[in-house]
A and B are shown apart, each in its own frame.
Chain A
Amino acid sequence: MSVFGILANYYPTLLGGLLVSVELFLSVSVLGVVLGAGFGVLGARNPVAGAVVKTTSFVVAGIPLLVLLFWFYYPFQSLLGILISPFLTAVLVLAIVNTAAIAELVRGVLTDFPKQYIVAAQMAGLSSNDIFKRIQFPMIFRQIIPSVLTTQLFILQCTLFASLISVPEIFRVAQNLNAVLYRPVEIYTTLAIFFMLVLAPLYYLAFLLRERFTRDFSER
């Protein structure tokens, strides 16, 4: 069976897997960005919170995602005597990873923001609100948005690991399909092309944003 034959015959199954992947990614992305931004701002304003954000980020980055996923899926639930669905477990673990990464990103950018730009704005008589809206936010947004986008694309790739705890996302569906049809070349090549078509433009967008917004601000 050709690639097109597989797509024509099994598109409802593949589409189902794709929808689970999209749902998983959007949940993790929204949670990670919102919580990460919140913890990042908190960490920049409060030294204790800052230390917690740094340490958490360090610890999370130091544990392989697969280990974290399996630990939350088996020992964690066994220890607490609870049962969480594979999908929610994947959301929980990926959201922790995403939140830690975004929080440290936001904290770092806010902490390192040069104070003199704010002083110059105070001198110009701008209110605190105006300083945030017209100076801090645009500068920080431009600096941070490409990195946030790149992190989200990394997280999108990581959603494939959810297949290992039986989440029926696109990779899991492809594996199941291959078990029935045994057409690994066609199935996995299709999957690779699909991800490339989705991810490559987004990586290019991140590159363009980096070029446009975080262009060389250094003054010669």
Chain B
Amino acid sequence: MLTAHNIEKKRGGRHILHGIDISIEPSSIVSLIGPSGAGKTTLLNVLSGVDAPDGGEVKVDGEDLSNPSPQVAMVFQQLFLWPHLTLRQNIALANRSTEAEITELIATLGMEAFIDRYPNQTSLGQRQRAALARAIALKPKYLLLDEITSALDIEQIERVAALLEKLRASGLGILLVSHLINFAKRTSDQIVFMDGGVVIERGGKEFVSSPQKQRTQEFLRFF
């Protein structure tokens, strides 16, 4: 299990995360929702070992996580595909998946037509899929996804949702940040609502239809 206990994070004199507790079990999908600036990306950075917390601890299957590791792969909101490599080279660089597995992944995400292009020769949606494929090709135990559907069309979102379900079935634990409440509701076992650096409310997928806390109700009133 990927667990974060009592996480505190400050940046530039601002207190971003206040005592966050969250856990992601294997074979489960947790969605993190909340307004912009709630601290979702900061939490993902801490959970992935990219940023050290100022308080609290992150553990992967009982072991402390202090640095980025292939066990916990993350797709950044800004993607950070290596610009001097083609999308295929980006996916294959780590050499943790076989060629057949990579070919299957490319087909699953419908990337055959542009896989040999450089990142700057592709659209944002194409790059999002490539970044997702790069993370999956690492064969991590846990996958952290920051807004990976923001530039995808309905068809691609369906592909990604089907892929996430397949990954969950294979034992992967997934934490997903998304502004698409329907997507979160459809794919997730648990949904966590964050605002102001704290977890306001969490529950099963049904909770987005009947939130208890006033702030959650306000946020979800347009849903």
Contact = CB atoms under 8 A, between A and B. Distances in A.
A174 B191 CA distance: 81
Interface string B29-65: 0000000000000000000101000000000000000
Contacts of A121: 82, 93
A142 to B, nearest CB: 6
B79 A219 contact: yes
B158 to A, nearest CB: 24
Q: Is the interface of A mostly helix, strand, loop or mixed?
A: helix
Q: Is the interface of B mostly helix, strand, loop or mixed?
A: loop
Contacts of A220: 120, 123-124
A120 B138 contact: no
A116 B84 CA distance: 15
Interface in A114-164: 114, 116-117, 119-126, 134-135, 138-139, 142
Given A123-B69, A123-B74, A116 B124 contact: no
B70 interface: yes
Contacts of A9: none
Contact of A120 (B67, B72, B80, B123): B80
Chain A, interface residues (CB within 8 Å), range: 20 to 34
B78 interface: yes
A112 interface: no
B73 interface: yes
Interface of A: 114, 116-117, 119-126, 134-135, 138-139, 142, 215-220
A86 B68 CA distance: 55
Contacts of B48: 123
Contacts of B120: 215-220
A119 B84 contact: no
Given A123-B138, A125-B94, A219-B119, A139 B124 contact: no
A126 B94 contact: yes
A122 B68 contact: yes
A120 B78 CA distance: 11
B84 A142 contact: yes
B96 A139 contact: no
A77 B72 CA distance: 62
Interface in B81-97: 81-84, 93-94, 96
